[in-house]
């Protein structure tokens, strides 16, 4: 019996049994158009990245596109101990932020999806509204709040960053959980399973793609943030990579080569995270979709 699932943005828990592997004929106009489209868009997308890669190995790097004077010095210069420390701080900050955002969002998302609570509609709307609040108006009250309590350090700043991702994550996870059929739980409830059990053993595994997507979002949000650590962290040994990046814009000197190489180093952890997680749940990501044909 195929399970009819209303999807908003969620993959089905399993491929519907009646789904047919459509193998289109070798060359059709449709295929040609698709491939050409992909090619054109692919070129447009990679264009800016080409500069980044070329500049990172250029000893005379500049903002213009030029054939590089090859060197690896940019990487060795950029990878000094202070900058590597900053990368490590970025990892810690983003992990904490992702955790602080995702775990409460999962718990609360379950309630918003399944349970009845008074004023659910307005509450959800209010949370969505928070997702649109700009960082700049939050920063001063938060600074004063944290400064007064000696919280001007890495962990509190990470927690704050996590909280700023919470509304989005809650909303994403709630939508994914909406797609999980309620029948799954009803049988468990009849077996006297506790809420935590149901959540942990049934709902979360099924909604894992959504939770994973939300977690990645929270991680990326924290990873790229410059303003919050700049304002909320006073110890320079705790500053993350975006702030260290500014070190390459000295008072009168801009070291483009190091900027490019550091940018690449700075992008790699996120890429690894993304690749790792995308293998984990094969439902909703296009890379694995490609493997399945």
Partner 1 sequence: MSRKYTRGRRLGVLAAIASAVSLIAACTGGAGSTSSNGKIVLRVAYGSQFVFLTPQLAIRWWGTVAKEFEKAHPNVTVQFTPIPGSYLDIVNKMSLLFRTPSTAPDVAELPVGQLGEWASSGFLLPVNKYLSSASYWSQIPKSVQDETLIGGKYYGVNHGENTNGLWYNMPMFRKAGLPVPWQPRTWADVLAAAAKIHATQPSVTALWLAGGSAGGTIAIQYNGGNLLAGSTNPTIYDSKTGKWVVDSPGLRETLQFYKTLAQKGYQAPLSELLNPNSVDNLPGLLAKDNTAIAVGANFYAESWVKSTCGPCWLAAPRIMGATKLPTINGQPPGYASSLGGWELSIGAQTAHAQLAWDFIQVAQQQTNMIDASNWGGWVPPSSVAASAPAFINYAPPYQAFFAKLLPASQEEPNTAPFTVWGTGFNNATGAIIQNPGISVSAAVNVMKSYITNQLGASKVETIP
Partner 2 sequence: MSVSEFMPAAPVPVPGVAAMSQPPAGRRLDKKRFSWSSIPLLLPALGLLAALFVGPVIYSFYLGFTNDALLGPTSKHFNFTGTANLNRLFSDAVFHQSLYLTAFFVLGSAVVGATLVGLILAVAMQNALGVARVVVGGLVVVCFVLPPVVVALTWYAAATGHGTYTSLFGMPNADFLQSGPLLIVSAANAWNLTGLAMILFAAALRNISGEILESATMENANGVQRFFRITLPLLRPTLVTTILLMTLLALANFTVVYVMTAGGPGTSTMILPVYSYQQAFQYDNLGYGALIGDAMVILATILSFIYVRLSRERT
Which residue do the tokens 């990501």 mark? 285
CB of 24 to partner 2, least distance (A): 6
Residues 6+ apart with CB under 8 A from 81: none
> What are the angstrom distances between the C-alpha of 167 and each of 7, 127, 146, 170?
21, 6, 21, 5
Other Cβ atoms closer than 10 A to 217: 17
CB nearer partner 2, residue 216 or residue 238: 216
CB nearer partner 2, residue 117 or residue 253: 117
CB nearer partner 1, residue 12 or residue 107: 107
CB of 1 to partner 2, least distance (A): 9
Q: Which does 259 bind (CB under 5 to 8 A by kind): partner 1, partner 2, none?
A: partner 2
3-state DSSP call for residue 249?
strand
DSSP for 87-115, written as a single string: HHHHHHHHHHHHHHHHHHHHHHHHHHHHS
Q: Which does 122 bind (CB under 5 to 8 A by kind): partner 2, partner 1, none?
A: none
Q: Which does 155 bind (CB under 5 to 8 A by kind): partner 1, partner 2, none?
A: partner 1
CB nearer partner 1, residue 29 or residue 235: 235
Interacting residue ranges for partner 1, rule: CB under 8 A? 62, 100, 107, 140, 143-144, 147-156, 159, 192, 194-196, 230-231, 234-236, 238-239, 243-244, 246-247, 249-254
Backbone angles phi, psi at 235, to 5 degrees: -85, 120
The number of residues in the chain equals 293
Q: Which does 212 bind (CB under 5 to 8 A by kind): partner 2, partner 1, none?
A: none
């Amino acid at each position: 019996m195929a399970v009819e699932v209303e999807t908003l943005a969620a993959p089905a828990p399993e491929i519907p049994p009646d789904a047919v592997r459509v193998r289109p004929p070798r060359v059709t106009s449709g295929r040609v158009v698709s491939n050409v489209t992909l090619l054109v868009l692919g070129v447009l997308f990679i264009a800016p990245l080409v500069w980044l890669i070329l500049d990172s190995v250029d000893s005379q790097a500049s903002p213009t596109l030029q054939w590089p004077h090859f060197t690896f010095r940019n990487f060795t210069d950029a990878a000094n101990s202070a900058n590597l420390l900053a990368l490590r701080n970025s990892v810690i900050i983003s992990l904490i932020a992702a955790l602080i955002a995702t775990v409460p969002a999962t718990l609360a998302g379950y309630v918003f999806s399944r349970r009845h609570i008074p004023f659910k509609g307005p509450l959800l709307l209010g949370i969505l509204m928070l997702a649109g609040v700009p960082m700049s108006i939050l920063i001063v009250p938060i600074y004063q709040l944290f400064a007064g309590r000696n919280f001007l350090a890495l962990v509190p700043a990470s927690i704050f960053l996590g909280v700023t991702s919470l509304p989005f994550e809650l909303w994403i996870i709630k939508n994914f959980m909406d797609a999980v059929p309620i029948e799954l739980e009803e049988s468990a409830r009849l077996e006297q399973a506790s809420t935590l059990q149901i959540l942990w053993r049934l709902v979360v595994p099924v909604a894992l793609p959504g939770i994973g997507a939300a977690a990645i979002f929270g991680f990326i949000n924290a990873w790229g943030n410059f303003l919050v650590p700049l304002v909320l962290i006073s110890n320079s040994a705790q500053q993350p990579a975006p702030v260290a990046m500014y070190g390459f814009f000295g008072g009168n000197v801009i070291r483009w080569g190091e900027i490019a190489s550091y940018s690449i180093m700075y992008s790699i952890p996120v890429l690894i995270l993304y690749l790792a997680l995308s293998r984990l749940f094969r439902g909703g990501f296009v890379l694995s979709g490609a493997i399945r044909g």
